[in-house]
Amino acid sequence: MSTFKEYAKRAKERMKSGFWEQAHDNIKTEQQVAATMGLDAHKVGEEGRRMLERRIYDYDGFCEEREFYDKVVQILESDELVSNPIMRLADKEYMAALSPSERQSYISKLAAKYRAAVEKYRSLHK
């Protein structure tokens, strides 16, 4: 199936399922919860809209990013002391197939992605 047809099919499914109403309600609820917790409701709403946009336009990337972020949150909220979170997040099988310079590049990118996820977590949980 062509990419255009796939996008159209997904859009039609979103319209039929009430996706937009649910997304709007979810963002409003998150903003209200954030306001009661003393967080910046506007930031929470913007983050919700960005996630919604990624979910629609880059579904595979959204799922991968969300999975990565969930792992980071699990590490941050864990009672366990994690001395090397980057290596816990790394794909060891993938790293085994890389040359030393490629491995270093992979770890650097992973570290940057981890830092961004930690900043996102801290900005949402202040």
DSSP string, 19-79: HHHHHHHHHHHHHHHHHHTTS-HHHHHHHHHHHHHHHHH-HHHHHHHHHHHHHHHHHHH-S
Nearest to 78 by CA among 93, 63, 88, 66: 88
Residues 105 and 124 in one domain: yes
Q: What is the dihedral sign for C-alpha 51, 55, 59, 64?
A: positive
pLDDT in tens, the chain (126 residues): 567 787 788 888 888 888 889 888 988 998 888 888 888 888 888 888 888 887 777 666 666 888 899 999 999 998 888 888 999 999 889 889 989 899 898 999 999 999 999 998 888 776
Q: Are residues 4 and 43 in the same domain?
A: yes
Q: Quote the domain boundaries for residue 72.
A: 66-126
